Chains A and B, each alone.
Chain A
């Protein structure tokens, strides 16, 4: 390192932003693209009442089975003449909040279990992890279906079910990182400075957990969207007449031979959403590695 730039740099005020979000977006194109996609989805959900051309529930038997690109119905209409574009846009208002709540349930439930398990170790760890193993033993969707079947169909129960499925994923992730962190000398070093265990966990462990957890949040949001659509497809999630993607596919599947777009349009909406979240998760995983940050 030469001396000249260092002397210039020393004149600058000390930078204090914890993570340069702007830098992250500027240097990692994929993160920018994925963030834009996900942001757009949320915007669509937020603005659905304003931007949809028709009432998603208004039937018009004269205009049924219109193919995409028909005048007035950009994506066509369904068997009752309801505008598909409007229904898809409104469908985002169901899927995204469900995903959001389900991820929150998984994150807080699983995160807490992982923290306790990883920090306490011993018997507590053993018991909690065997419980998580029991949950993980079921395929995610099957478990979600079983939970909804037990609690009764409906969006609220679907959110709980999808959240519960995500719990062991977060618990395992957080515990694994905690075990890794506990080995590091900075833990004893921080304690030797007089930090109490609470300060250690909140101030020093949790910030170290953020990166892997953020990545997992984006990835499991994709799963949650898909799971919600599946539950609604099976009639266990959103109930009629709520416009919902899964349920639209379910209804449209009856007309696959003649009017396939009835299922393809909501299917594409699900694909785009899941892809956006997965892209965000993937790109963040690459971008947030602190060793690559400079």
Chain B
């Protein structure tokens, strides 16, 4: 069966004055129709750059340097800019992290939600705004008829994110990329937005790539999860497998660093020691090795491949050799 979206060894480079950053390095992943894939990683791990590579909306000075991005069997990298424009907003939609600036401040929100319909379906203004009213109802914005004629500054963060989702869904895309859709929202609103995404995924069968650094979000939302570190995929597997028995020390550390309510009062938090690597001067060998509590000699010398470990894939010499992470550092 062909996948809806398939990335094969995608490399995205950013050329800076002081060096080349391999923001996305040999990333391969697949998304099937109707599936929700989570991409987790800390800031600068290449999550967003992967998403922008798929959309071919990379910022200046960065480019896709290699690999294939196949969507419904077509290689997106081969398409002309015009062909790509006809895919954006119809087949693949994207919602962004900061709902405060992702709407144009001078237009009424209804007009903006109708923009993809005017671009792709050649609807007139009136029809597109009426469609926006229906979309507002679908994403749970109350009093839709009045709301469409308001300006973005009259909307709260959660309402704006709903608006963005409505905009993304207007043309019924088969893939929705949500780049940290709840990071800028407060917790109760986060839950509402995630619930909305889940409902839409269920009702319309829209495949979703959910980019986040919040493991809780992944646990509740995703069928499969990919963990990224320094532009690389370090672990990939079903959400359950990855959460129950992580096979990469980075994932293991991430999971262990979540504060627990049932921990004893005297137990201190367990951060990951060290800081994210400087992307212009990556260490040799495994990129996580300087921060890794399990590192062995080989880790500093060779970089491991992404290999099958138990039921998932992991990029780690230790677990690939059959050792369990939990028995080691407890």
Q: Are A294 and B154 in contact (CB under 8 A)?
A: yes
Q: Are B106 and A208 in contact (CB under 8 A)?
A: yes
Q: Which of A9, A16, A183, A211 contacts B143 (CB 8 A)?
A: A9
- In the complex, which residue of chain A has the Cβ closest to the Cβ of B84? A194
Q: Is B122 an interface residue (CB 8 A)?
A: no
Complex A-B: 15 CB contacts under 8 Å: A9-B143, A14-B129, A14-B145, A14-B149, A185-B96, A185-B101, A185-B102, A188-B52, A191-B88, A192-B94, A193-B88, A193-B119, A193-B167, A195-B119, A196-B82
A-B contacts besides A189-B95, A189-B102, A194-B90, 9 pairs, CB < 8 Å: A9-B146, A10-B145, A14-B145, A188-B57, A189-B94, A193-B115, A194-B86, A194-B120, A195-B85
Q: Are A185 and B85 in contact (CB under 8 A)?
A: no
- In the complex, which residue of chain B has the Cβ closest to the Cβ of A191? B57
Question: Which B residues between 123 and 173 are near A, CB-CB below 8 angstroms?
Answer: 125-126, 129-130, 133, 142-143, 145-146, 148-149, 151, 153-154, 164, 167
Q: How far is the CB of B267 from chain A (nearest CB, A)?
A: 39
Whether A207 contacts B145 in the complex (CB less than 8 A), given A185-B97, A190-B115, A194-B116, comes out as: no
* Inter-chain CB contacts under 8 Å: number: 96
Q: Are A196 and B85 in contact (CB under 8 A)?
A: yes
In the assembled complex, which residues on chain B have CB atoms less than 8 Å from the CB atom of A9? 143, 145-146
Q: Is B104 an interface residue (CB 8 A)?
A: yes
C-alpha gap A195/B57 in the complex (Å): 12
In the assembled complex, which residues on chain A have CB atoms less than 8 Å from the CB atom of B125? 16
Q: For chain B, give the interface size range.
A: 35 or more
C-alpha gap A14/B108 in the complex (Å): 11
Q: Are A16 and B146 in contact (CB under 8 A)?
A: no
In the assembled complex, which residues on chain B have CB atoms less than 8 Å from the CB atom of A16? 125-126, 129, 149
C-alpha gap A233/B142 in the complex (Å): 64
Q: Is A290 an interface residue (CB 8 A)?
A: yes
C-alpha gap A196/B101 in the complex (Å): 19
In the assembled complex, which residues on chain A have CB atoms less than 8 Å from the CB atom of B97? 185
In the assembled complex, which residues on chain A have CB atoms less than 8 Å from the CB atom of B52? 188
Q: Which of B96, B120, B129, B146 contacts A6 (CB 8 A)?
A: B146
C-alpha gap A190/B106 in the complex (Å): 14
In the assembled complex, which residues on chain A have CB atoms less than 8 Å from the CB atom of B154? 294
Specify which of A190, A191, A192 lies most central, judged by the most chain B CB atoms within 10 Å of its CB: A192
Q: Are B106 and A290 in contact (CB under 8 A)?
A: yes
C-alpha gap A290/B129 in the complex (Å): 21
Q: Are B89 and A194 in contact (CB under 8 A)?
A: yes
In the assembled complex, which residues on chain B have CB atoms less than 8 Å from the CB atom of A185? 96-98, 101-102
Specify which of A9, A186, A291, A294 lies most central, judged by the most chain B CB atoms within 10 Å of its CB: A186
Specify which of A189, A199, A204, A293 lies most central, judged by the most chain B CB atoms within 10 Å of its CB: A189
Q: Are B106 and A189 in contact (CB under 8 A)?
A: no
In the assembled complex, which residues on chain B have CB atoms less than 8 Å from the CB atom of A211? 106
C-alpha gap A193/B110 in the complex (Å): 15
Q: Are B153 and A290 in contact (CB under 8 A)?
A: yes
Q: Are B153 and A14 in contact (CB under 8 A)?
A: no
C-alpha gap A191/B94 in the complex (Å): 10
Question: Which A residues between 9 and 41 are near B, CB-CB below 8 angstroms?
Answer: 9-10, 12, 14-16
C-alpha gap A207/B89 in the complex (Å): 22
Q: Which of A194, A199, A204, A208 contacts B88 (CB 8 A)?
A: A194
Q: Are A186 and B101 in contact (CB under 8 A)?
A: yes
C-alpha gap A199/B59 in the complex (Å): 18
Q: Is B10 an interface residue (CB 8 A)?
A: no
Q: Is B5 an interface residue (CB 8 A)?
A: no
Q: Is B314 an interface residue (CB 8 A)?
A: no
Question: Which B residues between 202 and 231 are near A, CB-CB below 8 angstroms?
Answer: none
In the assembled complex, which residues on chain A have CB atoms less than 8 Å from the CB atom of B87? 194
Q: Are B143 and A192 in contact (CB under 8 A)?
A: no
Q: Are B133 and A186 in contact (CB under 8 A)?
A: no
Question: Which A residues between 137 and 192 are near B, CB-CB below 8 angstroms?
Answer: 183-186, 188-192
